[in-house]
Structure 1
Amino acid sequence: MRFPLKMIAVAATAITLATSAFAGEQYIDPTGFAVSGYDVVAYFDLDQAPVGQDQPAAVPGNKNITSTYNGATFAFSSEANKARFDADPAAFAPQYDGHCAYGVSKGGKVPGNPELWRIVDGKLYLNITDNVVGFWEEDIPGNLTLSENNWVSLEPAAASDRAIPQFSSAAPVN
């Protein structure tokens, strides 16, 4: 069965628009990597600190061990972590395309700092500053409800182009 070229073009456009509705622009800082080159899989293997305490240090990725997802390059500390990511990238990529979870709860897209992280219900969330982490942690469930509701309208907007305040990435290494 042959399909007219116009019908194929319409279908391709519809698929592109539907796909873009699920994946907005990933926040990328001057490193050129998603999550500033830190290994997103490694967060899930770290012992998470209780609310109100600093999290363990994020694990830098290796610029020679990468995968592309959501239009961005993610770096990994090992081939094993890359393989885990490749099997299910959505399970490891930070929520809100790497933007600050509290910022999204307040209705905006600002960068997420990979050193200010928390895993909630199996999902990775980033925030922008230590002060913001405090506000977010005052009511994580309530802030997540606000974020999820706001993300529907924020997601199609362009990624933040702001730098992460007082942050100098140590990643990727090698």
Structure 2
Amino acid sequence: MKRFALAGVLALGFATTALTGPAFAGDQFVDQTGYAVSGYDVVAYRTLAQAPVGSAQPKAVPGRADITADYNGATFAFASEANRDAFLANPDYYAPQYDGHCAYGVSKGGKVPGNPHLWRIVDDKLFLNITKNVVGFWEEDIPGNITLAEGNWPGIEPKPASTNPIPGYDSPAPVSN
């Protein structure tokens, strides 16, 4: 029953947009900060100790407004020039899966925002999810949900990026130097 309720909430999220929706560029999800992944450093995730399934992950590392790179129609911010250089050398490795959209949402067939603090690296790929409740559903069967998402992604990838805000999240802008 809980899953059907979640599916309804996700479906409602796909059908609605905020009155003052976040900006987006290309297919990459970009929120009101104007940055991909809300301005957090995607390279820094690789240096954080990953928590066990069922536990909260460490907070993402804020990027800096003066250390950026463009990829997939969006601007990514980084905590250091070394991280930016690593990203530029292999952006596909560091960029989140599904253009920064929620991995569980993609497994259910749609694009909803990914929260930069609700992350997990699986098979050397960065995945984001939208809410703590959704993380619980995704973690019930991570391999199965990734398989579903991979099957769904080719059909939904060409659709525009989500314009919905991240629920319950007030994303800060990258740190100025």
TM-score (norm 2): 0.84
Deviations 1:103-141 (A, max 9, x none): 000001000000100000110000000000000000000
Q: What corresponds to 1:53 in structure 2?
A: 55
DSSP-derived class of the 1:90 partner: helix
Unaligned runs of 5+ in 1: 1-23
Mark the runs of 5 or more structure 2 residues left unpaired by the alignment: 1-25
Match of 2:16 in 1: none
SS of alignment partner, residue 147 of structure 1? helix
Whole-Å separation in 2 of the counterparts to 1:90 and 1:168? 27
Q: Find the counterpart in structure 1 of residue 19 from structure 2.
A: none
| Residue 47 of structure 1, CA deviation | 0.4
| 2:159 aligned residue | 157
Sequence identity percentage? 70
Higher Cα radius of gyration: 1
Q: Which residue of 2 aligns with 1:82?
A: 84
1:1-174 equivalences under 5 Å are 25-174=27-176
Contact 2:63–2:175, Cα closer than 8 Å, also in 1: yes
Shift in Å, 1:170: 2.9
RMSD: 0.7
* Number of matched pairs: 151
- Superposition misfits of 4+ residues, deviation over 2 angstroms: none
User: Per-residue deviation at 1:168?
Assistant: 1.2
Return the TM-score normalized by structure 1: 0.86
1:67-123: CA deviation from partner (whole Å, max 9, x where unpaired)? 000000000000010010010000000000000000000001000000100000110
* CA–CA separation in structure 2 for the residues paired with 1:106 and 1:65: 35
Tell me which residue corresponds to 1:6.
none
AA partner of residue 117 (structure 2): E
Counterpart Cα distance in 1 of 2:70 and 2:146: 27
